[in-house]
Amino acid sequence: MRHNFLITGASGFVGRSLCAELLRQGYAIRTAVRSEDARIDNVEQAIVGPIGGGTDWTDALRGVDVVIHLAARVHVMRETAGDPLAEFLEVNLHGTENLARQAAQAGVKRLVYVSSIKVNGEGCPHPLLLSHGERGERVYRESDAPNPQGPYAVSKWQAEQALHRVAKETGLEVVIVRPPLVYGPGVKGNFIKLLVAVDKGIPLPLASVRNKRSLIYLGNLVDALIACATHPTAAGQTYLVSDGEDISTPGLLRLLGAAMGHPARLLPCPPALLKLAGRLTGKTEQVERLLGSLRVDSGNIRRELGWVPPYTLRQGLRATGEWYRDVHGRN
């Protein structure tokens, strides 16, 4: 069965890649954009304006079978809103619930919601004491009690709960996907700062870090979203997704450097000293991202949907590093 898709947030990092892959596979798609400025060439679009509790989705939803909802107010480093939680809730909670209810009324069969691993929490849960006396790290799973911290994560968790209510009341099939950090060609935010540092040969005091982090390559996330949109078994499920291979921060930097042709310059430094420096400079959050672990168990989507990431972690990092080298890198 070939579905007609509506993609929100289509002009973003994930959205553009998702639209391209859906078109490649022969699906009919429409994009919901806030203004003409977000146009994607050769794709039907519906201008819906700002997303919130009052957005009119009538034209966008006409003839649609499946919605993949990517649009969101995302985490920002320098928050300027007087009431950040209210701003996040308006877009991520009220905007999502409003879309879901209108989708159900329009006869849409399924809505795939891209949430966040931040619903599970920040960093890894507390370590387990293993039977042989060693300490091991837990990984996040769908069965964990949610522990969202901060306005963005809280808004995503509340949106998930609202979608379950809509599904129960209307019969709309809802699938929730919680990805960790997404990387790939076109990536922005903190990840590109790492690429810049490696490319410029900046010495980084991270050689002594022994963390483990789960990531997901853009191409793998796109593939997982299409599986969640089309596989009958996915209805009503929540899935954590990742590349399936965890990596340390030094390992990540070394692979990116190799792809860019500029080996990462890593220096040894005790992590405790780096944490202290983070506290003294007010950059605790940024330092923790580099030092901390966050591991995801993506076994459920693999077992239930038969999903296998089409790209390995090494392939994804190589593609990302090569993209940066070709577009931004030094000669």
* Interval 235-252: pLDDT, tens: 999 999 999 999 999 999
Angle at 160 between CA 156 and CA 163, to 5 degrees: 135
How is the chain split into domains, by residue range?
Answer: 1-178
pLDDT-derived band at 35, boundaries 50, 70, 90: confident
- For residue 155, give Cα distances in angstroms to 32, 92, 96, 163: 21, 6, 10, 12
Of 210, 212, 204, 217, nearest to 321 by C-alpha is: 217
Query: What is the overall mean pLDDT for the chain?
Result: 90
Point out the least confidently predicted range of 6-20, 27-41, 43-57, 88-102: 27-41
Q: Assess whether pLDDT exceeds 60 at residue 165.
A: yes
Residues sharing a CB contact under 8 Å with residue 191, sequence separation 6 or more, in sequence order: 181, 183
Mean pLDDT (whole number) for 118-144: 67
Mean pLDDT (whole number) for 131-149: 76
- Chosen CATH of 1-178 out of 3.40.190.10, 3.30.43.10, 3.40.50.720, 3.30.450.20: 3.40.50.720
What is the set of active-site residues? 152
With a pLDDT cut of 90, the percent of the chain lying above it is 77
Decide if 151 contacts 187 (C-beta within 8 A): no
Calpha distance 311→21 (Å, rounded)? 14
Calpha distance 199→76 (Å, rounded)? 25
pLDDT of res. 98: 96
Q: Which letter does DSSP use for residue 119 in this model?
A: G
With a pLDDT cut of 70, the percent of the chain lying above it is 91
pTM: 0.92
The helix or strand, by DSSP H or E, that contains position 31, with its residue range, turns out to be: strand 28-33
Calpha distance 309→18 (Å, rounded)? 15
